[in-house]
Structure 1
Amino acid sequence: MAETDGRAGRPAPRKRADARRNEQTLLDAAARVFVASGVEAPVRDIAAEAGVGMGTIYRHFPTRADLIIAVYRHQVEACAEAGPALLASGLAPHAALTRWTDLFVDFLVTKHGLAGVMRSGNPGFEGLHEYFLDRLLPVCAQLLEAAEAAGEIRTDISAYELMRGAGNLCVGIEDDPDFDARRMVGLLTAGLLRPLTG
């Protein structure tokens, strides 16, 4: 029998936290499967990756659109939260920026097939791109500003330009298994460094 907190039989906060953790586990598993097989991957593959039954996934996400939107938002939030954490970790600002762009590339790779799905007319997909920009542009700007203030990088690139450049380097990677988007984006961020003098 489920524990309650005494308020009209509501589940205890621990149970709510457990449910949130279970949902995060499902989203992480779905993201991995999307990277490997695209957003049209069978739900049974996601269930197997998460170690749960298909019914568990449908209880959390009744439709594929619900699952895709949740994975997208989960990945955006993880990427947004990573920026300040990397800056606070003691890494040099340019190193923090480079680590963050690796995470950003991972997020972009997770979006395989998402563009087509977003054109499906499902109202749930409206506003996702704006949400993505609203959450991630300020984080990228914060990382760039820290690296600029430390004198590590040039000052003539904007967060939008860096994110757009990284995004362009990830276009079409599903059609070319020999193309390493993370390496190319790494070269892009390395190119931001100021040349050594003296």
Structure 2
Amino acid sequence: MPSPEPRGNRGPAAAADNRRALLDAARRVFADRGYRAPLSAIAREAGVGQGVLYRHFPTRLDLALAAFEENFAELDAIAAHPGPGAFADLWSRLVEITVAESAFVEMAVDARRALADRHDEGRLRSMLADTLARAQAAGVVDATLNADDVVLMHRMIFGVVTTSIDDDAGVRAAVDRATALLRHDPLGGRQR
């Protein structure tokens, strides 16, 4: 099999494309192999050399934070919708991201430990609180629920995702079952 034709060196003109390719590759590799996947696998997946990777993202955390920030931008856009449905949409997308990209939640935990000036959980809590208040005012969400409860539910979902040994369908089924249990509270506490 002939080797692929080498791409010409476009220099600085390729920087934006290389950065995008690295972020896309990081999402795929982290989703497939976890947050501790070799960075060389990400560079290879992106079709660039490791030097290019390190020029854009000097550390694993820099790379993960850049991809994670894209998730936050998407969640911010959902939370900005003024209607009471924004809370359900935000929660649904947050769970989807957690299932598909649990490595980024793992990274967020690392970031919280390593970077004292990062406030991602507070940012998420604020988004949830704002949309939750609108949903509660419209009567579509239990008035006793608060943002801390929702963050705790998210952490529980992350636990389900990261400890599951099932395939993707099994993980999704476990997450659905866990969220149903949270809504019905079989231990006799507050009903969701």
Which interval holds the TM-score relative to the shorter structure? Answer: 0.5 to 0.7
Q: Which residue of 1 aligns with 2:150?
A: 162
CA positional deviation for 1:37: 1.1
The alignment status of 1:60 with 2:48, answered yes or no, reads: no
| Residue 122 of structure 2 corresponds to residue 126 of structure 1 | no
Tell me which of the two structures has the higher relative contact order, counting C-alpha pairs closer than 8 angstroms and 6 or more residues apart. 1
In the aligned structure 1, how far is the partner of 2:45 from the partner of 2:84? 33
Partner of 1:99: 92
Percent of aligned pairs with the same amino acid: 27
Alignment check: 8 A CA contact 1:140 1:159 kept: yes
1:136 aligns with 2:124: yes
- Inter-partner Cα distance in structure 2 for 1:188 and 1:142: 24
1:167 CA drift (Å): 0.8
| Structure 2 Cα separation of the partners of residues 73 and 169 of structure 1 | 23
Conserved? CA contact 2:35–2:107, under 8 Å: yes
Q: Given that residues 75 and 107 in structure 1 are in contact (C-alpha distance below 8 angstroms), is that contact kept between their aligned partners in structure 2?
A: no
Quick one: distance in 1 between partners of 2:135 and 2:159?
27
Give the TM-score, by structure 2 length: 0.66
Say yes or no: does 1:71 pair with 2:101. Answer: no
In 2: Cα distance, 1:71 partner to 1:132 partner: 13
Q: Residue 31 of structure 2 contacts residue 101 of structure 2 at CA under 8 Å; is this kept in 1?
A: no
With over 3 angstroms needed to count, the CA separation of the structure-2 counterparts of 1:100 and 1:147, relative to structure 1, is farther
- Out of 28, 35, 49, which is 1:32 matched to? 28
Unaligned runs of 5+ in 2: 1-8, 186-190
Tell me the equivalent position of 1:8: none
CA distance in 2, matches of 1:68, 1:107: 19
Structure 1 residue 42 corresponds to structure 2 residue 38: yes
Note the aligned Cα RMSD (angstroms). Answer: 4.0
Superposed displacement of residue 86, structure 1? 5.4
CA gap 1:175/1:138 in 2 versus in 1, 3 angstroms: closer
Determine which of 136, 147, 153 is the counterpart of 1:148. Answer: 136
Normalised TM-score (structure 1): 0.64
